[in-house]
Amino acid sequence: MKNLSRHSFIFLILFALLIVGGCGTSRYQHAAASKGQKPVGVDSLTIAEADSLIPHLFVSFHAKQRAAKLCAEGEIAFVCADSLWRTRHDKTLEKVSRPADSTSENSKTQIKNRQKYMDDINEFLAVAEKKFQKSIEIDPFPLNSRDGLVRTYFLRAEVEQKKIYYKKAEQALQEIISREKGEHYLFFKLGECCFQLEKWDQAFKNYHQATDVFVETKVFSRDSALTSSANELHFTYLYSQAVCLSKMYRADEAIALIHEAKKVATTKEHKAIAERFENWLNWDNGNIQTAEMKNKILKLVKAEKYAEAADQFQNLKESLTDPFAIDEIDWRIAGLEFQYLNKKEQACERLLRIVRNQKNVPTNSTVEEENMQQYLKDCGAMHYHLGMSYIDKADYRLAKKYLDVGAEIDWYGNYKCQLKLAKMNKHNPQISLNLIEKVLDVKSNLSVVEQIDALQVKLKVLKKMGSQYLAEAKQTYLQIRELQKN
C-alpha cells in the first residue's frame, strides 16, 4: 500500500465503497454503509475525497434512463426541424417566401404562412436544444447528446443566420474533444465552426487534425464498401485545408494541398471542384487578393450595378500581372459596355484588341483555350449586331466596317456577316459570289431558310455574271426548288 500514490489509493477506496454500498447482500452491510461506517484503516479525509469524485465518474441507472429519454426527445425535435428546413425550396414555399404583391389578401396569407413555417422550425430547434442540454446535465458521459446539441447549433446558425450559434457549437465540440480524441469528424466540425467565425488559422489546424486522425484510424475499417465514402471524406478534409490557406493568402501551400486532394478524388464532381479552385488560385499568378477582388466585382454585376462594376474592373486591371487575367477583365468590361452602358463601339474595339493580341499566343491550359473561344464568339456576335444596327440606320459604311470584322473572325456565326455582306455587294458580283461560296461551305450550320436565302443571292449574282454562268444558275435554281419542297 505504501507504493501507491494518494490518488490511486483514493480510487481503491472509492471502489471499495461502491462494493460495500451496492454489491453486499446482508441487511447489516447496507445499514452500516448508510450510517457512514468506514473501512478499517482509512481516514475520513480520504473517504470524503473519494465521495466527492463519485458524481464525476458515475451516474445512476435511473439517471441514465432519464438522460437517454431526453436525448431521444431532442433527436425527434431536431429531425422535425431539419426536415422542415430542408424542404424550404419546395415550389409552394418559394411562392410563400416571395409573394408578388405584398398588399393583396392572398399575399398577406402567404406571408403569415411563411412566418408560421419559420416559427415551427425555431420552436422545434429550441426544444431540441433544451432537451439535449438537460440530458447532458443529468448524464455528461454519452457523446450522442453532445453531438445532437452541436447539430442543433449548426442548424440554428443556418436558419437564423447568427454566428453566435457557431460559437456555442465550438465550445460544445471542444468539450467533446476533451473526452474523445479519436473521431476525425469532430475535428472537422470544429474546423467548420472556426471557419464560419473566420478563425482561419484555427480552422486550418482542426481540418489538418481531422485529416491526421482519419488517416491514422482508417486501418480499423475492414469494410471495403466504405472505401469510396472514405475517399470522399479524405478529399473534403484536404480541400477544406486548402480553402483555409487561401483565406490566409498562402497560395503555394493551398495549391500543393489541392494536388493532394485531386489524388484521392474519386468522383467527377470532386475532380472538377478541385480543378476550378486550382484555376482560381492561379488566376493572376497566385495573387489571391486580385482573385477575391474579381469575385466582389462580379457580385456588383449580379446586383445590376453595371457602371460601378465596370469602373472597379478597370481599377482591378491596373493591378493584374497575368496577361490572360488582364484579357478576361477586358472581356468582362466589354460585355458591360455593349449590353448595359451604351458603349457598343468601344466594346467592339476592346474585344477585337484581345482577339488579335491572342491570335498567335499559345494557351497554357484548357481554361485559357475555352476563354479564347468565348472571346471569339462574343467579338463576332458584337460586330454582327452592331453592323446590323447601322444597316437599320442606313449607314452602310459603318455597317460594312463591323460586318467585315464579324466575317473575318473565326466564330460559329461568321456566315451571317458574310451573307449580309454578299447582299450589300450586289453591284460587285465577284466579291458577292466569293462571300456566298464561303457561306455555303458551312451549310451544316445553316437552317433551311438560311440556305434558301444564300442560294437566292447566289442565283441573282450568277445571272448578272453572264451566259457562262447560266448552267450553274440553273443548278442553283433547282437546289432552291428542292429545299422549298422540303
Please report, for the domain that includes residue 386, its CATH number.
Answer: 1.25.40
Query: Are residues 260 and 342 part of one domain?
Result: no
* Overall average pLDDT of the 325-350 stretch: 97
pLDDT of residue 224 exceeding 60: no
Q: What would the pLDDT profile of 148-185 be if each residue is shown by its tens digit?
A: 999 999 999 999 999 999 999 999 999 999 989 999 99
Residue 426: pLDDT over 90 = no
Confidence of residue 368 (pLDDT cuts 50, 70, 90): confident
Sign of CA dihedral 135, 141, 147, 153: positive
Q: Are residues 251 and 344 in the same domain?
A: no
Quick check: is 175 in a domain? no
Domain co-membership, 403 together with 377: yes
Instruction: Point out the least confidently predicted range of 228-232, 273-277, 316-320, 327-331.
Output: 228-232
Q: Please determine, for residue 276, whether its predicted confidence score (pLDDT) is greater than 90.
A: yes
Indicate whether 138 belongs to any domain: no
Q: What is the pLDDT of residue 38?
A: 55
With bands split at pLDDT 50, 70 and 90, how would you rate the model's confidence at 111?
confident
Assess whether 324 and 404 both reside in one domain: yes
Same-domain status, 296 and 387: yes
Q: At 445, is the pLDDT very low, low, confident or very high (cuts 50, 70, 90)?
A: confident
Same domain, 331 and 270: no
- Residue 95 scores a pLDDT above 80: no
* Domain-terminating residue out of 275, 307, 332: 275
User: pLDDT digit string (tens) for 278-330?
Assistant: 999 999 999 999 999 999 999 999 999 999 999 999 999 999 999 999 999 99
Closest residue by Cα to residue 337 from 358, 351, 324:
351
Residue 128 lies in a domain: no
State mean pLDDT over 394-412. 95
From the list 19, 6, 18, 16, the residue with the least C-alpha distance to 46 is 6
Give residue 293's pLDDT: 98
pLDDT greater than 70 at residue 26? no
Q: Examine residue 86 and state whether it is found in any structural domain, yes or no.
A: no
Which grid cell is 50? Answer: 473519494
Residue 481 lies in a domain: yes
Whether 290 and 405 share a structural domain? yes
Residue 87, pLDDT > 90, answer no
Let me know whether 313 and 396 are in one domain. yes
Q: Does residue 355 belong to any structural domain of this protein?
A: yes
Same domain, 377 and 270: no
Is residue 202 located within the same domain as residue 313? no
Domain-located, residue 88? no
Total structural domains in the chain?
4
**263 belongs to a structural domain:** yes
Q: Tell me, what's the pLDDT at 44?
A: 61
Query: 405 and 320, same structural domain?
Result: yes
pLDDT at 22: 42
Average pLDDT over residues 207-215: 96
Q: Number of C-alpha atoms within 13 angstroms, CB side, residue 230?
A: 15
Range of the domain at 450: 426-486
Q: Is 462 found in the same domain as 405?
A: no
pTM: 0.77
Give the chain's mean pLDDT. Answer: 86
Last residue of a domain, one of 377, 411, 445: 411
Using CB atoms within 10 Å of the CB of residue 274, give its burial: 0 to 12 exposed, 13 to 18 middle, 19+ buried.
Answer: buried
Measured CA to CA in angstroms, residue 451 lies from 384, 415, 486 at distances of: 19, 11, 12
Q: Which of 232, 248, 275 delimits the end of a domain?
A: 275
